[in-house]
């Protein structure tokens, strides 16, 4: 590990309790992600990948253990501080795109800027720039329902980038896409990682894509990190 | 997030669900409309009554009663009551309070000299038969000096008031006119009317018949005829006429003095007056302005008479109106509560529908406060439009009702009155209230929306 870690997790544990049943989704996960690296997360369904991403993204709080982002303890932050963290430091991408169906591509991309208090005109301008960057110049006014899966995921990527975050968290971004589109999307994330030095953590089942682009692959089994593969 | 963004976002969110938004707003419109109509009706009634009182200068009048006369059981301060209370404490009080002088012309002169008193006239009424053509009606004739006949007190529907106190002219109410067979107001002016007064005729008086006299038989009474010309016709008062005018026929003072008559209005007066002249039963005082009422009243009470001033009664009327307002508002509030439940329902539904949208917003950096405000803005937009259009609806509907009521009352000769009143505070208050109600209804949905767990909202598997 040559690069200084941008995000670090220690003994990260998450227990979901619904009623009397307790599910340990993550157990004592230790993690250190170097700035500018492309990390892959693999594991079978239910192994805790999404849970890990949500904790790293500040959408959820761990049951125990700690997360440090650029030396700051994320796991200690209150709700408002977590919202601020998500707003300024993190860009998230999901398997099901999670676009707002009533909003056009530009409106969806400018959503994070809305909560950052950017004016409407500037929001549109910036959103437009990022849509150009993901290759959707001609689809700006389309609604999600008028776009293909790959195009929708590009909109989501533009949305994740628009706030100039320091880390991108992509939870199975290719899970709903065909293999051709999948490699295009992962290729886009890899390009962003390479050209802008943006740290990317991506969950995926597609070994070939992981092996092709990732610096390191973390394999989860029943909420525990069993293997860390250093590739580059 | 900027203010304009909240407005923008709430409008676009509401616009997405046009039908439901419209229905919810419509609920608020009806609620606010009902409340506004109810309150404006209450205010309208109150304004009519107090305006009428003020226009007629009714607050400028004090009625003075002689010691024993209390036909309507008016409260006032009773000198006798005081004396009785005084007696139980201190027997010397009794000496001080001597029987007051009868209300005669001397007393009237004294009353007239009190500071603030504009004029004084005795309330003289006597029974008589009024006849025109064939119809003949028994009525009370009131003696009203020309100066009062010409004042704002007397509202005429046709003709003019008599100008001198010596004319053989009279003013008659339209209802009595109808009863004596004169239906047309305009041709009635100038018509001759015969008034037959009752006079004592002792030619066949027998004191042994006292018992049957009390029952109104074998009275030692005869008639005397006088001819008058109708010069003016009064309208009926809209509100029970609590004025010093308590009659259907008014004649000038001087003319009245020249008539032979029995100036009694009840049997008790009749017997009293045959024993000794105790003066007038009732005297009306007009003060220069309502500000003098209390001072004059106190003076009159010190002279040993009981008084009644409408301005005292008006406080009670006001309390009555407050009560009426509360009942009307309560009816309106039911509609508001229903509307408020409608808003709550809509907003809660909206949360369920927008569950993942809320999750998305949180994932891209929305704080709980942002989500709360988005929902609050939507509720208040519903409230604002509901309030504005509800006010408009209340205004339009009450305007229509007003026209309909007036249309039917006009047929009965009642002049046009605004039964509804829209003071500025009601208009502003209605809109503000609608917004406040919708904000309150929005609290629970907003808090619930803010509490949505993004992890749960975004999980699809
Ligand atoms: N909100 C939740 N409440 C209860 N159990 C949950 C919740 N979220 C996830 N889990 C459980 O935690 C485990 C890990 O889930 P997840 O992180 O979604 O796995 P993956 O993304 O690897 O498929 C699963 O057993 C899942 O059922
Ligand atoms: Mg998952």
**pLDDT tens digit string along A121-153?**
999 999 999 999 999 999 999 999 999 999 999
Q: Which residues, other chains included, contact A166 with Cβ-Cβ below 8 Å and sequence gap of 6+?
A: A6, A70, A89, A90, A198, A199
pLDDT confidence tier of residue B364, bands split at 50, 70 and 90: very high
Query: Any CB–CB contact under 8 A between B367 and chain A?
Result: yes
Atom of ligand 1 nearest to the CA of A223: 14
Distance from CA of B341 to the nearest CA of A (A): 27
User: What is the reported pTM?
Assistant: 0.70
- What residue in A sits closest to B357 (Cα-Cα)? A100
> Which residue of B455, B460, B461 is in closest CB contact with A59?
B455
How many angstroms does the Cα of residue A149 sit away from the middle of ligand 1? Answer: 25
- What residue in A sits closest to B373 (Cα-Cα)? A115
pLDDT confidence tier of residue B382, bands split at 50, 70 and 90: very high
Contact between A163 and A112 under an 8 Å Cβ cutoff? The reply is: yes
Q: What is the pLDDT of residues A12-31, one digit of tens each?
A: 999 998 888 999 999 999 99
Query: Any CB–CB contact under 8 A between B96 and chain A?
Result: no
Distances from the Cα of B200 to the Cα of A107, A193, B177, B197, B219, angstroms: 102, 124, 28, 10, 9
Q: Do A114 and B16 touch (CB under 8 A)?
A: no
Q: Which residue has the higher pLDDT, B454 or B184?
A: B454
Across-strand partners of B121? B284
SS3 sequence of B386-448? HHHHHHHHHHHHHHHHHHHHHHHHHHCCCCCCCCCCCCHHHHHHHHHHHHHHHHHHHHHHHHH
Quote the pLDDT of residue B74.
46
- What residue in A sits closest to B15 (Cα-Cα)? A102
pLDDT confidence tier of residue B207, bands split at 50, 70 and 90: low
> Which H or E run includes B19?
helix B18-55
Q: What is the pLDDT of residues A56-98, one digit of tens each?
A: 999 999 999 999 999 899 988 899 999 999 999 999 999 999 9
Contact between A100 and A124 under an 8 Å Cβ cutoff? The reply is: no
Mean pLDDT for all residues in chain B: 80
Atom of ligand 1 nearest to the CA of A49: 22
Q: The tokens of A131 are what?
A: 């849509």
Quote the pLDDT of residue B418.
84
Contacting residues of B for A123, CB less than 8 Å apart: none
Q: The tokens of B255 are what?
A: 């003319």
Residue A166 pLDDT > 60, yes or no?
yes
Q: The tokens of A50 are what?
A: 């999404």
Tell which one of A48, A92, A221 to mutate to probe ligand 1, the residue whose CB is within 8 A of the most ligand atoms.
A48
List the end-to-end C-alpha distance of chain A, in Å, as a whole number: 10
Q: Which residue has the higher pLDDT, B69 or A177?
A: A177
Contact between B410 and B403 under an 8 Å Cβ cutoff? The reply is: no
Q: The tokens of B88 are what?
A: 């139980």
Atom of ligand 1 nearest to the CA of A220: 22
Residue B389 pLDDT > 90, yes or no?
yes
- What residue in A sits closest to B365 (Cα-Cα)? A87
Quote the pLDDT of residue B98.
52
Q: Which residue has the higher pLDDT, B380 or B460?
A: B380
Query: Any CB–CB contact under 8 A between A17 and chain B?
Result: no
Query: Any CB–CB contact under 8 A between A120 and chain B?
Result: yes
> Which H or E run includes B146?
helix B146-149
Mean pLDDT over B228-242 rounds to: 68
Across-strand partners of A216? A39, A230
Q: Do B364 and A57 touch (CB under 8 A)?
A: no
Q: Which residue has the higher pLDDT, B448 or B47?
A: B448
Quote the pLDDT of residue B269.
53
- B108 vs B114: CA distance, rounded Å: 10
Quote the pLDDT of residue B89.
38
Residue B41 pLDDT > 70, yes or no?
yes
Mean pLDDT over B403-415 rounds to: 82
Residue B239 pLDDT > 60, yes or no?
no
How many angstroms does the Cα of residue A45 sit away from the middle of ligand 1? Answer: 9
Residue B92 pLDDT > 70, yes or no?
no
DSSP single-letter state for residue B265: S
> Which residue of A83, A84, A96 is in closest CB contact with B460?
A96
Q: The tokens of B293 are what?
A: 């009422």
Mean pLDDT over A153-159 rounds to: 96
Secondary structure of residue B232 in the 3-state scheme: strand
Quote the pLDDT of residue B377.
92
Contact between B193 and B172 under an 8 Å Cβ cutoff? The reply is: yes
Distance from CA of B436 to the nearest CA of A (A): 26
Atom of ligand 1 nearest to the CA of A171: 21
Quote the pLDDT of residue B274.
44
Distances from the Cα of B345 to the Cα of B19, B23, B27, B448, angstroms: 14, 12, 12, 13
How many angstroms does the Cα of residue B456 sit away from the middle of ligand 2? Answer: 12
> Which H or E run includes B378?
helix B368-411
- CA proximity to A11, closest of A231, A230, A232, A225: A225
B337-365 core/surface letters (b: 16 or more CB in 10 A; e: else)? eebbebbbebbeebbeebbbbbbbbbbbb
Q: Indicate the burial class of B15 (C-beta count within 10 angstroms; 0-12, 13-18, 19 or more).
A: exposed
Mean pLDDT over B212-225 rounds to: 68
Q: What is the pLDDT of residues B279-306, one digit of tens each?
A: 777 888 888 888 888 888 888 888 888 8
DSSP strand pairing (A167-171 vs A90-93):
parallel
- Tell me which residues have their CB closer than 6 angstroms to ligand 1: A 16, 18, 23, 25, 43, 45-51; B 455-456
What percent of chain A has pLDDT above 90?
89
- B64 vs B76: CA distance, rounded Å: 10
- B174 vs B235: CA distance, rounded Å: 6
Quote the pLDDT of residue B211.
65
Quote the pLDDT of residue A3.
61
Q: What is the pLDDT of residues B306-315, one digit of tens each?
A: 888 877 777 7
How many angstroms does the Cα of residue A48 sit away from the middle of ligand 1? Answer: 6
Atom of ligand 1 nearest to the CA of A48: 17
Hey, whose CA ends up nearest to atom 25 of ligand 1? A46
Q: The tokens of B300 are what?
A: 């009159």
Quote the pLDDT of residue B69.
55
> Which residue of A84, A119, A159 is in closest CB contact with B364?
A159
Q: The tokens of B40 are what?
A: 């404006």
Q: Which residues, other chains included, contact A50 with Cβ-Cβ below 8 Å and sequence gap of 6+?
A: A171, A172, A203, B459
Query: Any CB–CB contact under 8 A between A144 and chain B?
Result: no
Hey, whose CA ends up nearest to atom 13 of ligand 1? A25
How many angstroms does the Cα of residue B237 sit away from the middle of ligand 1? Answer: 82
Contact between B256 and B124 under an 8 Å Cβ cutoff? The reply is: yes
- A155 vs A142: CA distance, rounded Å: 10
Residues 6-25 (B) with a CB less than 8 A from some CB of A: 8-9, 12, 16
SS3 sequence of A70-97? CCEEHHHCCHHHHHHHHHHCEEEECCCC
Quote the pLDDT of residue B212.
64
What percent of chain A has pLDDT above 70?
99
Q: Which residues, other chains included, contact B16 with Cβ-Cβ below 8 Å and sequence gap of 6+?
A: A102
Mean pLDDT over B103-112 rounds to: 82
Contacting residues of B for A45, CB less than 8 Å apart: 461
Quote the pLDDT of residue B96.
40
What percent of chain B has pLDDT above 70?
81
Contact between B48 and B418 under an 8 Å Cβ cutoff? The reply is: yes
Mean pLDDT over B409-414 rounds to: 77
Q: What is the pLDDT of residues B328-361, one digit of tens each?
A: 888 888 888 988 998 999 899 988 889 999 999 9
Across-strand partners of B314? none
**How many residues does this entry show for chain A?**
232
Quote the pLDDT of residue A107.
95
Q: Indicate the burial class of B102 (C-beta count within 10 angstroms; 0-12, 13-18, 19 or more).
A: middle
Quote the pLDDT of residue B455.
92
Mean pLDDT for all residues in chain A: 93
Handedness of CA B398, B399, B405, B409 (dihedral sign): positive
- What residue in A sits closest to B374 (Cα-Cα)? A115
How many angstroms does the Cα of residue A203 sit away from the middle of ligand 1? Answer: 14
Quote the pLDDT of residue B91.
36
């Amino acid at each position: 590990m040559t690069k200084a870690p941008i995000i670090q997790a220690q003994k990260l544990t998450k227990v979901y309790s619904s009623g009397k049943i307790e599910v340990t989704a993550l157990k004592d996960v230790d993690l250190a992600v170097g700035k500018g690296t492309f990390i892959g997360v693999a594991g079978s369904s239910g192994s805790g990948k999404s849970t890990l991403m949500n904790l790293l993204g500040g959408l959820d709080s761990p049951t125990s253990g700690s997360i440090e982002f650029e030396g700051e303890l994320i796991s200690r932050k209150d709700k408002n501080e977590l919202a601020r963290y998500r707003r300024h430091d993190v860009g998230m991408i999901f398997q099901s795109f999670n676009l707002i169906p009533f909003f056009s591509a530009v409106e969806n991309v400018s959503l994070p800027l809305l909560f950052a208090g950017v004016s409407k005109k500037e929001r549109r301008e910036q959103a437009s720039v990022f849509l150009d960057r993901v290759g959707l110049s001609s689809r700006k006014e389309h609604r999600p329902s008028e776009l293909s899966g790959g195009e929708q995921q590009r909109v989501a990527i533009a949305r994740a980038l628009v706030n100039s975050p320091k880390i991108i968290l992509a939870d199975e971004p290719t899970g709903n896409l065909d293999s051709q589109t999948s490699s295009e999307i992962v290729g886009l994330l890899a390009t962003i990682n390479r050209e802008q030095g943006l740290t990317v953590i991506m969950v995926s089942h597609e070994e070939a894509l992981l092996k092709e682009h990732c610096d390191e692959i973390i394999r989860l089994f029943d909420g525990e990190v069993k293997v860390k593969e250093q590739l580059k | 997030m900027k203010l304009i963004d909240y407005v923008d976002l709430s409008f676009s969110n509401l616009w997405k669900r046009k039908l439901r938004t419209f229905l919810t707003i419509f609920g608020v419109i009806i609620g606010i409309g009902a409340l506004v109509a109810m309150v404006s009706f209450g205010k309208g009634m109150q304004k009519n009554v107090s305006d009428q009182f003020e226009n007629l200068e009714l607050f400028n009048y004090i009625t003075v009663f002689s010691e024993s006369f209390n036909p309507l059981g008016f409260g006032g301060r009773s000198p006798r009551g005081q004396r009785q209370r005084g007696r139980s404490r201190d027997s010397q009080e009794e000496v001080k309070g001597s029987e007051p002088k009868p209300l005669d012309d001397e007393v009237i002169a004294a009353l007239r000299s009190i500071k603030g008193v504009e004029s004084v006239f005795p309330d003289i009424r006597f029974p008589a038969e009024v006849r025109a053509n064939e119809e003949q009606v028994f009525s009370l004739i009131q003696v009203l000096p020309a100066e009062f006949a010409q004042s704002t007190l007397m509202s005429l529907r046709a003709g003019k008031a008599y100008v001198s106190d010596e004319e053989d002219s009279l003013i008659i109410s339209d209802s009595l006119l109808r009863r004596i067979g004169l239906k047309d107001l305009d041709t009635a002016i100038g018509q001759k009317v015969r008034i037959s007064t009752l006079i004592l005729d002792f030619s066949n008086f027998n004191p042994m018949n006292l018992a049957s006299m009390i029952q109104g038989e074998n009275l030692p009474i005869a008639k005397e005829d006088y001819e008058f010309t109708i010069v003016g016709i009064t309208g009926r008062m809209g509100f029970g006429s609590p004025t010093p005018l308590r009659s259907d026929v008014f004649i000038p003072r001087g003319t009245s003095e020249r008539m032979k008559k029995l100036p009694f209005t009840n049997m008790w007066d009749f017997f009293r007056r045959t024993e000794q002249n105790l003066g007038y039963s009732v005297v009306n005082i007009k003060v220069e302005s309502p500000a003098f009422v209390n001072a004059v009243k106190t003076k009159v009470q010190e002279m040993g008479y009981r008084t009644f001033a409408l301005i005292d009664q008006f406080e009670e009327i006001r309390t009555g109106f407050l009560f009426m307002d509360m009942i009307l508002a309560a009816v309106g509030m039911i509609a508001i509560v229903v509307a408020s439940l409608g808003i709550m329902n809509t907003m809660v539904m909206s949360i369920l529908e927008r569950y993942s949208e809320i999750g998305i917003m949180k994932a891209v950096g929305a704080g709980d406060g942002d989500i709360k405000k988005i929902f609050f803005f939507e509720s208040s937009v519903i409230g604002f439009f509901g309030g504005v259009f509800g006010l408009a609806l209340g205004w339009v509907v009450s305007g229509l009702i007003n026209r309909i009521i007036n249309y039917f009352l006009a047929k009965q000769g009642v002049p046009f009155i605004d039964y509804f009143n829209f003071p500025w505070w009601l208009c502003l208050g209605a809109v503000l209230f609608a917004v406040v109600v919708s904000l309150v209804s929005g609290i629970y949905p907003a808090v619930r929306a803010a509490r949505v767990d993004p992890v749960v909202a975004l999980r699809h598997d």
